[in-house]
Amino acid sequence: MKYNILKEFLKGFVIGVIIFLTRTFVQYLVGNPLPGNSFLDEFFFNQLFAVSIYMATVYIFKRFIDYYGTDFWNTRPVILGLISEVVATVIIVFVIRIFIITVYYKQPLSQFLEQEKIEEYYFAVIVSFVCMCLYYAFYYWKSKQEGKVKQSKIIARTASAKFDALKNQLDPHFLFNSLNVLASLIEENPKQAQKFTTSLSKVYRYVLEQKNKDLVPVDEELAFARTYMNLIKMRFEDSITVEIPDSISNTELKVVPLSLQLLLENAVKHNMVTPTKKLHIKIYEDRNRLVVQNNIQAKQVIKKSSGVGLYNIKQRYQLLTDTGVSIKDDGVTFEVAIPMLIEQKAFVPRQKQYIEDKRYKRAKEKVEKIKGFYIHATIYVIMVPVFIFLNSRSTSFPWALFPILGWGWGVISHAAETFGWNPLFNKEWEAKKIDELMNDDEF
């Protein structure tokens, strides 16, 4: 974690002011107000203690975070951190007290050591310990929230990368098998090979156009399946019969692109296809599923199928819907039913979803800023009469004007930042300046 000294110093100073005002108010309530002539001295000493202890606390906390990482929030590191900070608080209080008493009040060091009591450290240690616990609690909550956001982003990116990887597997797989078919046809039937090459270019164009889509209309996929099977039949001729419907009942239904191609390819790949053992493939609609069915006449192969094709389709559907791919094998026929989906907004308009997410994030940040300003302004309004009251009870010198005016300027600056108000460089000025530069030919 980064340690910005100036930023942490300012935080420590503000915390010190709050502690000082609280302590002063409590002392007044119990009948022991600060004398006016020592007010500034007490404020200086309070800030010296508060800023030093806060800076040391934050430094130790950040060093522990850097050393332990995500394991810091386990019991042992937290306890060690708290103990380290309590020890650091005692040492800092001791050193500052030596400075105040021996340098500022010019008391001999030996006399200071003789008169020093453990009671002098109670208040500093208690306040420091409470502040540390609050600091730890805040950062623990913050780390949990960041962890949830980070985990969500990792899941989303992993799913997206996984989906893209699955889609990209189709391209080389399809090309490799098509070239094998073409190589066979070149020797057996050169004319058919020429026709195959022409058709292959059309099929391959479809592959390139559709492979980056999440879903495609079923009618388009069926048309592609017919073209693809025409290529396959150029090689096997009448050894394959295929039934593919011209259309389906609902034209809005969609499927994963190239899923039919993979299923048809698997049917040809894993079954014997000869004039005496014809392969019968049928594609039909069954409610909201598209079924690819073929008769089983398995090839006698030494190496068992890896099932990459079916696994690919299953994984792609899992990333899009809860409706899974069903497989049925009764020893006579083999069926794979893939869901036909109505494309949801979550699938296609990712840009719109991204914009909505960004707008929500910006709106949430804006609300947090406005809430922070209201809290700041409320505390200021409450503290102004407290400053005036303490001033009237302590001294005739109007010292309350300094924190009231200084803090008031801070509230105004906070309001300007929160609500985007700037009397010098507002949006009107920006628009005017943009127009001026746009009309400047030399710009």
* Residues 206, 297 within the same domain: yes
- Local mean pLDDT, 10-residue blocks, the chain (443 residues): 72 83 73 66 84 85 81 81 86 87 84 82 78 77 69 55 50 63 74 77 75 82 88 81 90 87 86 90 91 90 61 77 86 92 54 61 81 83 77 69 78 79 58 61 54
* Residues 179, 296 within the same domain: yes
Domain of 303, CATH number, reads 3.30.565.10
- Note whether residue 141 is domain-resident: no
Regarding pTM above 0.85, the answer is no
- Note whether residue 438 is domain-resident: yes
Instruction: Report pLDDT for 439.
Output: 62
* Residues 231, 109 within the same domain: no
- Note whether residue 389 is domain-resident: yes
* Residues 295, 336 within the same domain: yes
* Residues 103, 28 within the same domain: yes
Tally of domains in the chain: 3
Which of residues 325, 345, 365 is at a domain's end? Answer: 345
- Note whether residue 394 is domain-resident: yes
* Residues 15, 88 within the same domain: yes
Phi, psi (deg, nearest 5) at residue 361: -65, -45
Which of residues 56, 90, 116 is at a domain's end? Answer: 116
* Residues 353, 296 within the same domain: no
* Residues 272, 354 within the same domain: no
Which of residues 55, 90, 116 is at a domain's end? Answer: 116
* Residues 334, 369 within the same domain: no
- Note whether residue 357 is domain-resident: yes
Give me the domain span that covers residue 42: 1-116
* Residues 323, 400 within the same domain: no
